[in-house]
Amino acid sequence: MSRRSFQFVPLGTLATFSQGFQVPLNDQVSSKTDDSFVRFIRIVDYTQNTKDVRYIKDPGNKYFVSESDITMVRYGAIGVIGRGKAGVIANNIFKVTPNDDQLDKRFLYYSLLNDPVQDKIKAGNSSTTMPAITFGIAADLPIPKVSLSTQRKIASILSSYDDLIQNNTRRIAILEEMAQAIHREWFLNFRFPGHENVKLVDSPLGQIPEGWEVVKMKDVSDIKWGDTKTTKKSYVEEGYDAYSAAGKDGMLDHFDFDRDGVVLSAIGANCGRTWFASGKWSCIKNTIRFWSTSDRATTAFLFYATYGKEFWPKRGAAQPFISQTDAKNKMICVPTVELAGRFHEYVDRLLRQIDSLDRKNENLRSTRDLLLPKLISGKLDVEDLDIDAGLITDELQYEEPPGLTDEDHEILDGIWDEIAEEDEDAKTNKRPISIEDVETDRVMAEFRQESRKLGSTTRADLIKAVSRELGYRRLGSNIEDVLKGHLRAAVRRKIIGANGDEVWPETPTMDAYNRDELIDTFKSVMRKNQEYERDDVIRALANYLGFRRLTESVREPIKSAINGAIRRDVLSYQGDTIWREE
């Protein structure tokens, strides 16, 4: 049902603005040396989501933003609206603080993304050298004047799409890590099924398992330039996936390939990065594409074997590039046909799931972007809008191939559990259970995860973040009281460090605990004189300390602590069975 359009008022009548903090490059560090350092948020953190995180000495609360705060870029990438990061913002970014009784933060965020506002930002550029906006330009931006109730309904509708996209993105990351973990274990660490019976032999790339072979990429793949005559100028609104040197970033009205393949960025900032392509697709100028021509190196294997910019030889200083000749002659180690086929059975399913989730995200973004202008303008009535709730009910399925050995299961241990948990979280977030019924180990995992995201923050902000991750849209007094108790437990378990109202991630990895601390923790997860399997204790202790994934980096310190406890007669054992003596 349509309605009359909303009236608009200047943003300056509903919000205030505050500029960030200027910090010389020499005063920025890549890791926190002590608790006086805080996250420093730069433009690149919003535009590229860079892993190059910076920290600075805490200049005070004046320049600090929380994850829920809205920011705007002042110079260069004007029009970029930021949120979801906590720390001190740089001076080329400013914070937009809405009047709580007039403007909802989430509604403000989507209003600033609306095309008319974005067009006004770009049209109001105040500089002839570098794109820039002033507080005056920002204050004049048009914002709908509607009730807070209507604002929150609109924001909830649009946020539901972003929540689904974020959840799918987390699941994609876990699936990718799962595939990379298998490749790393089998083909880099040489801990593949049956490796105990295979000796290592010399090769041009160092020692490799007997029966494996070092070959050139051209010996096991069809490797050629992308379409050098086609550029982004040929992109259309709808069509088939197209890859440039920046990745999958457009569509063409035709497709060159209908098969699996790998696209390599051959020049520029992404030089050396690869993408797995499937279905109907094309790749344009400045790319190289390849796929398998050998049973010993399937296309999926080639994707993971060549993954990472450091794999590819590059030329050029100012503008790095990869020549087709260098790519063809790059040496690679390939396994036996049997092992290559086994790896393909695992990874092909994961890649299909990744592609499916990626396409769902594309549909979600498209639907959200169609809804946004209609909702923000008032042309679509929020009361009558019917959202397809079925979008959130899709379950992620993974069928393990037959014939897995115990070692196979050990390689996959913990990774698939995480995927299942993420999928369960998506369902739980629809209708949260009572806070009293949420398992303590899950809450500890959320405190660990959210504290790593926020870095140094306040108790209140950390509790709010954990509450959101548990699926509660409103932090009521009961939920807050229960989470305060859990936070005290997280501090006792050294998951969280605390000093007054300030909190931070105390132990970001299991290695941050010393052996004595882990040995003391056995008393919390093992009853005296009750027998347990070692693996059960390892998993229980990891969960107790908030580690959701039981990776080798988590498992090994616990195994070492068990051995230490046995030597001290704290634990006794018989085979794989252990029990606590004291």
C-alpha to C-alpha distance for 357 and 353, rounded to whole angstroms? 6
Tell me how far CA of residue 441 lies from CA of 445, 450, 521, 530, 539, in angstroms.
6, 14, 14, 21, 11
Using the structure block, give the residue that is written with the tokens 């306040």: 458
C-alpha to C-alpha distance for 277 and 351, rounded to whole angstroms? 10
Confidence (pLDDT) at 261: 95
All domains of the chain, ordered by start, with CATH? 8-145 (3.90.220.20), 147-200+348-429 (no CATH), 213-334 (3.90.220.20), 510-580 (1.10.10)
Tokens of 535: 């693996």
Inter-residue contact 65 to 89 (CB < 8 Å)? yes
C-alpha to C-alpha distance for 219 and 334, rounded to whole angstroms? 11
Tokens of 312: 């590819």
C-alpha to C-alpha distance for 302 and 288, rounded to whole angstroms? 14
Amino acid at 355: D
CB neighbour list of residue 428: distance below 8 Å, 6 or more residues apart: 470, 471
Q: Per-residue DSSP letters for 394-454?
A: PPP--PPPS---HHHHHHHTTHHHHHHHHHHHHHHTTSPPPGGGS-HHHHHHHHHHHHHHH
**Packing angle of the helix pair 440-454, 534-544 (nearest 10 deg):** 50
Tokens of 153: 């309904």
Confidence (pLDDT) at 331: 95
Profile the chain (582 residues) by mean pLDDT over runs of 10 residues.
72 93 89 86 82 86 90 86 90 91 92 90 69 87 90 89 88 88 91 90 92 95 94 90 92 94 91 92 95 93 92 85 94 94 88 88 88 87 51 39 47 46 44 74 90 89 90 81 92 94 91 91 87 87 87 88 92 88 74
Beta pairing class for 280-283 and 240-244 = parallel
Confidence (pLDDT) at 571: 92
**Could you give the strand order of the β-sheet that contains 81-82, starting from the edge strand earlier in sequence?**
15-19, 93-98, 70-73, 81-82
C-alpha to C-alpha distance for 41 and 54, rounded to whole angstroms? 7
- Give the SS3 label for residue 316: coil
C-alpha to C-alpha distance for 187 and 197, rounded to whole angstroms? 16
Tokens of 28: 């920025």
Inter-residue contact 6 to 145 (CB < 8 Å)? yes
